[in-house]
Amino acid sequence: MKKISILLSLLFVQLILLGQKDSSLERRLAEFMQVNDEMDLNKVLDYTYPKLYTIVPRDQMLEVLQNTFDNENMSIRLDSLHINTIYPVFRLENGSYAKVIYSMSMGMAFKNNEDSLTAEKKKERDDYMLSSLSEQYGTGNVHIDPVSGNLKIKMVSPMVAVKDEYAKQWSFVNFKENDPITNRLFSKEVLKKLATYK
């Protein structure tokens, strides 16, 4: 009898946990990752938390993204996007929030006068890029592809999924603690709660 009671308790707990999963969040997140993988920057902005556009206008954000991913010096491609963790959804201040951890690879290809650089100049540039990017992303996460000569970066980053008066459907924004823009997007209470998910 005791075993049956324990099994029923475990089943009840599992049903509660399944009930807490938000399939609309998972669906929107999968769509968001897909448009990122396709590098469809306009659609990426469709899934971005709209409150961000009260700080930086959407057309300006699109221009910044386009210039970041493809400019006269380099082009950047995203690859192997993957959701690592979706933390539980919580409600606070008439909004729903969830912290999400994702990983991806980023490839950086140099364009500017690549053929005119000597081997020494290329090595100097590559060493500088490896050093500065390793500080940001970790030593083991940055290398130069021996075949293509492109920089490859593996990164793991947090973002916030939000549904509130600005976003009627789940929307997403990168989460950087102690960042001026993040602090303008979310209240201290929401930031404090997000920080508890490690």
Q: Residue 3 pLDDT > 60, yes or no?
A: no
Q: What is the reported pLDDT for 162?
A: 98
Query: Which residues, at least 6 apart from 55, have a Cβ–Cβ distance to it below 8 Å?
Result: 181, 184, 185
**Per-residue pLDDT tens for 30-80?**
999 999 999 999 999 999 999 999 999 999 999 999 999 999 888 999 988
- The model carries a pTM of 0.81
pLDDT band per the 50, 70, 90 thresholds, residue 2? very low
**Per-residue pLDDT tens for 85-103?**
999 999 998 999 999 999 9
**Per-residue pLDDT tens for 118-177?**
888 888 888 898 999 999 888 899 999 888 888 999 999 999 999 999 999 999 999 998
Which regions of 111-178 does DSSP assign to beta strands (E)? 142-144, 151-163, 171-174
CB 183 within 8 A of CB 55: no
Q: What is the reported pLDDT for 43?
A: 96
Q: What is the reported pLDDT for 189?
A: 95
Q: What is the reported pLDDT for 122?
A: 84
The token pair at 68 is 């970041």
Counting residues of the chain whose pLDDT is more than 90, the rounded percentage is 66
189-194: average pLDDT: 95
Backbone angles phi, psi at 69, to 5 degrees: -85, -20
Q: What is the reported pLDDT for 113?
A: 67
Q: What is the reported pLDDT for 120?
A: 87
pLDDT band per the 50, 70, 90 thresholds, residue 114? low
Q: Residue 10 pLDDT > 80, yes or no?
A: no
- The rounded Cα 73 to chain-centroid distance in angstroms is 24
What is the topology classification, in CATH, of domain 21-195?
Nuclear Transport Factor 2; Chain: A, (3.10.450)
CB 141 within 8 A of CB 122: no
Q: Residue 17 pLDDT > 50, yes or no?
A: no
Q: What is the DSSP letter of 61?
A: H
Backbone angles phi, psi at 117, to 5 degrees: -80, 140
